[in-house]
A and B are shown apart, each in its own frame.
Chain A
């Protein structure tokens, strides 16, 4: 087993899983909604980036921007359908969950209808080639993915820590009623949360599409992975999501090297079930009790 390869794969996977899980985690803790339409955001962003690459420019920045903007728009759409009309209605958590699932079915079929079942490929935005770090070899794809997602993660976290909007989001995560009482606009904050997390899913989509194709149902696997990472890390905890992303990325890399690719999901799930049996709220999850 090559340790350098292992570390590199772990970091790549952790960065992408972190992007996906963080989105689900932030939405849950600030809006109290489980967004299972994140997979739809992911697929739509892939198609958005593809449309930009086909019609406007195959420049890397343009493609990434296309994916990110489409993702943010899809996030806003989900927020507008599943959160805004429902958040003050009875039985909100279940109804919003079902609504996001409905959006995911609706959107997936619309994509299939519009773009057809044939897969699409994005241009290689980071170019083709390898970089040598001593004995380790990293392709441009991997390096680009790591750099981009780490940059976006840092930017998002810094924005959450320093900006006024970030403060409002954190206030809503701690106590939604209290935040509303002191004048935080629930709807506008919710929409910005949805757009930011949508943008994160959009970037993850463009990055993952360097290695995978764009399909109408391309979002399912990333959604499931991001969801279980968020679950293992503790819904609502940023640090927990990142720790879980690293751990699960590591397990995936180790399993793929030692046992083979088809056992990846099994070992991941055994790990997650184990974690959840020991800590039912995930590695760092406490916040749900404070929400109630």
Chain B
């Protein structure tokens, strides 16, 4: 299975909160079963992260899948493999073929933009170069379709080397603008060149992999499965670059942290160019496939509108993830090819979706869960800020997130205790504390002091002897091993007794403010 998965989902699930619903089924079994893992053949890598835990309600062992992505990928790919040829008419099948091909392009493009971090907009141009190269060899040199498939990556690689030269020096948007220009250059060249079919708006007449005597529907289905195979290959390529050594190297050298990566000995430039060339070769390969599918190539591959549609695909899904690329492609192709009766309105709709996505969403559709979680956490903390006057009482909506329900009762008890102790604090009590150090004290003062002494170590006040018998200061303990206490304020006390009374005053103040 070539489903890309991410280890970040593990940490997300590990901090999962109590009371949240889980969409994935819980598996049974414990003992030896808790340690069983499926593995990719010949590797130690596991497709599913499984955690064994005991149910809080029934205390039975249950195994939970922490990362749902591989399961969802498998389901989605299964639907893609079965549904279009089974249920669709001819135009739907050819739209699905388009979808699979563009999804493959976007997945490989994601290697350049996401993994290598090179914001190249020349992806479709690379596909076009591969397509024109393969079509040229077929039309003028009689290459059969399998040789066209083989020659596509070669053209893509050569073009990739050519456009990688400026990428060595240029960064970010400078390179993006240059690649837009290069795409336009390709368009103008193919429109004007006689050998590349300027007269017929495209170079057609190349060999195709669908046999000519095949009935139309079967031919389309064969085309679809071939395109689906290309998509699977693209996903495999993505995973084997992004998930392996090259991808890890580049993940250690994100934008603005390149110097750090270089100091670690990572040659991030070489890695970026390598990924860029691999993805160019892949895009060229898709181009070769395109030429065999359509029996040629057309300059419309190089138009600004096509580039914009491609960009819309990855922006809607979310830049940087394969599932975003595939879902965005699905949406755009659905509008572009299936609702073709709408005319220009369908492109306006696509542009509208793109604008709404980019204006309101940070990471496309697949970024919605994270953005929503952030938004909800922000609203929660705002609400908690408003409720701090409730004296630490736990509101019902917070209670579902606290695993240890007893701590809720403790907090409620503490709140009531504080309210009661506040009533005991008077000027005479404070004065009593100052004068009766080491002597017998009243019951009220002892109660207050017992409450203070019971506090946790974190942020507990302590006395630091800067110079014994001469200078004492108040510090607050960090509560963590290895982290030193912090100095609380500038007050300096001459004797330990004064310092003790200073600590008492601080605690009284904290109590009054709570």
Interface residues of A (CB under 8 A from B): 34, 36, 39, 81, 85-86, 89-91, 93-95, 97-99, 101-106, 108-110, 112-113, 217, 220-221, 224, 227-228, 231, 235, 262, 265-266, 269, 272-273, 276-277, 280-281
Contact = CB atoms under 8 A, between A and B. Distances in A.
Contacts of A217: 304-305
A105 B357 CA distance: 15
Contacts of B345: 109, 113
Given A105-B347, A106-B351, A262-B189, A224 B305 contact: no
Nearest to A114: B344
Contact of A109 (B172, B173, B188, B344): B344
Interface centre among B176, B184, B189 (most CB of A within 10 A): B184
A220 B304 contact: yes
Contact of A86 (B119, B181, B304, B359): B359
Given A217-B305, A262-B193, 5 more contacts: A105-B351, A105-B354, A108-B305, A109-B344, A273-B165
Interface string B336-356: 000000011101101110110
A109 B351 CA distance: 9
Contacts of B362: 89-91
Contacts of A280: 169-171, 174
A133 to B, nearest CB: 32
B171 A224 contact: no
Main secondary structure of the interface of B (DSSP, over half): helix
Interface string B130-148: 0000000000000000000
A26 B92 CA distance: 47
Interface in B166-218: 166, 169-174, 176-178, 180-182, 184-185, 188-189, 192-193
A108 B312 CA distance: 15
A276 B169 CA distance: 8
A102 B184 contact: no
Contacts of A108: 305
Main secondary structure of the interface of A (DSSP, over half): helix
B185 A110 contact: no
Smallest CB-CB A-B distances: 3 pairs: A106-B351, A105-B351, A113-B344
A104 B308 contact: yes
Interface of B: 119, 165-166, 169-174, 176-178, 180-182, 184-185, 188-189, 192-193, 304-305, 308-309, 311-312, 315, 319, 343-345, 347-348, 350-352, 354-355, 358-359, 362
A94 B311 CA distance: 12
A80 to B, nearest CB: 11
B449 to A, nearest CB: 50
A138 B344 CA distance: 41
B182 A269 contact: yes
26 contacts: A34-B176, A39-B304, A81-B359, A86-B359, A89-B362, A95-B359, A98-B358, A101-B311, A102-B354, A104-B304, A105-B309, A105-B347, A109-B347, A109-B348, A113-B343, A113-B344, A220-B184, A228-B181, A231-B174, A235-B174, A265-B188, A269-B181, A273-B178, A276-B166, A277-B166, A281-B174
Given A36-B180, A272-B181, A276-B178, A93 B173 contact: yes
A235 B178 CA distance: 12
B359 A112 contact: no
B349 to A, nearest CB: 9
Nearest to B163: A273
A136 B351 CA distance: 48
A113 B171 CA distance: 37
B344 A102 contact: no
Contacts of A103: 351, 355
